Amino acid sequence: MIISESEIALKESRIKGSFRMLLAEDDYANAEYVKLVVRHQDIAVIHAKNGAEAIELFKNNPLVDIVLMDIKMPIMDGYEATREIRKLNQDVPIIALTAFALDGDKEKAISAGCTGYLTKPVGKDMLLSVIGSYLVRGR
């Protein structure tokens, strides 16, 4: 069994307390995959199915350590939800999660307030590596 550096860092950092992730993702299959991978790392997941729900859940859970934000969602997209969350919290890492691979998407996500960017489909190693790097940095 190979354990990546990010997983080791997550395990060591968790001694100081468990992590909470807000996952904003409308696609059931993607959400199930992400939840399985991160729950396996003892990261508690709060799941929102659209941008508006993400904002509500963020307001109700101010101790969220990281946000994984799908960009294309119904009711309110990830760009707008990110801008709203940034009005509430300037520090929480927000990782954009999108199927779009077009030039300019990364810049658009960053300008909306995202701190990082992942393109779907996201492999387990890449997902944990990015999440781990932000969580460990924050502790």
Report the alpha-carbon distance of residue 109 to residue 44 in Å, rounded. Answer: 24
CA dist list (Å): 82 to 37, 51, 70: 23, 8, 10
Regarding 124 and contact with another protein (CB under 8 A), the answer is yes
Instruction: Determine the size of the site formed for another protein (CB under 8 A).
Output: 22
Instruction: Give me the phi and psi of 72, to 5 degrees please.
Output: -90, 100
Could you say which residues in the range 71-90 bind another protein, by CB under 8 A? none
Regarding 134 and contact with another protein (CB under 8 A), the answer is no
Q: Which of 15, 28, 90, 101 binds another protein (CB under 8 A)?
A: 28
- Give the interface with another protein as residue ranges (CB under 8 A): 1, 27-30, 32-33, 35-37, 39-40, 44-45, 47, 49, 99, 120-124
